[in-house]
Structure 1
Amino acid sequence: MGQENFHASVQYGDFKGTAAADRRDHDSISKYLENQGLVNEGEFLVGIEAYSSELMGKAQVTDVSVTALVTKYEGYDDVQAAVDSGNPLKVRKIRFDMPLVDFFSLFKRFEISISSHGMIDQRDIIFDD
């Protein structure tokens, strides 16, 4: 059993930032996990990590390494109460690879905002239209 802080991290950290996504109503990542038999009865999806390594300048469709984090707490309110307790949340990691296009198709919208070493992350910026 291990413990870690949930955040994005890569070898050099040249770019850091935030991500946001809207789940699909029917073909969501939760439904994908269920259809693949990867989640157990009563498990709740609390996090997703996606990792891709360099393509070495090759234009190709590649797989993304996905880690889904699930917990045994039932429903959003119980999970939130567990998180609010201040104790580390006990999760099970489910690791699998899938085509990048398939991964993004599990979301309605997906945005990643990264800046050099995170210097403008969560900061106001002014720009010319």
Structure 2
Amino acid sequence: MDTLSAGVQYNDFTGTVAADISDNRALAKHLVSVGKAETDERVVGFRISSGENRGTPVTEVSLVAYLLRSDEFDPNPTDVRAVEISVTPGEALAFFKRFDLVAMRRGVDFSQTRVDGPHYD
């Protein structure tokens, strides 16, 4: 599995994700408060994952943040540092104003499909 690409054991579903940064709760500040980041580091990526589950409610997920030490935004960093914290799913989503994950079953092509029911454009 590529470090910066999502993947699980069987990849039965794959897709895309998009998120807007929260106006009220900054992941970088939280990481500083729990001793995982320095004040001059900025979050340039993240991963939220859940391990093996036997059909029970998930009460904890892993949140890995990719940190860059830079005064300015660098669109092509050469090195980032990864740190991990355990949080509830609700705590993980609280770092984002909006969070949208779309996954499709492996082998299914929706490119010509009309969706009947709730959806976002």
What's the offset of the Cα at 1:68?
0.5
Matched, 1:128 2:104: no
Segments of 4+ in structure 1 off by > 4 A? 118-121
User: Which residue, out of 3, 28, 31, partners 2:29?
Assistant: 31
Matches within 5 A, 1:88-103: 89-103=78-92
1:124 deviates by 5.8
Provide the rounded CA distance (Å) in 2 between the counterparts of 1:5 and 1:42. Answer: 24
Q: Of 67, 70, 73, which aligns to 1:73?
A: 70
Of 41, 59, 63, the match for 2:60:
63
Report Cα offsets for 1:78-120 as digits up to 9, x if no partner: x11xx1xxxx731111011111111111211111000012754
CA distance in 2, matches of 1:37, 1:124: 48
Q: Could you say which structure has the greater relative contact order, defined with CA pairs below 8 angstroms and 6 or more residues apart?
A: 1
- Name the CA distance, whole Å, in 2 between partners of 1:69 and 1:96: 12
Alignment gaps of 5+ in structure 2: none
User: What is the alpha-carbon root mean square deviation over aligned residues?
Assistant: 2.2
Code of the aligned partner of 1:103: A
Residue aligning to 2:12: 14
Structure (1/2) with the larger helix percentage: 1
SS at 1:30's partner residue?
helix
The answer for the alignment partner of 1:46 in structure 2 is 44
Aligned-pair identity (%): 30
Matched letter for residue 126 of structure 1: R
Aligned residues: 116
**Cα distance in 2 for residues equivalent to 1:29 and 1:108:** 12
User: 1:23: Cα distance to partner?
Assistant: 1.2
1:101 partner SS: helix
- 1:66 and 1:95 map into 2 onto residues whose CA distance is 6
Query: Matches of 2:58 and 2:115 in 1, distance apart?
Result: 34
TM-score relative to the length of structure 2: 0.81
SS of 1:126's partner is: coil
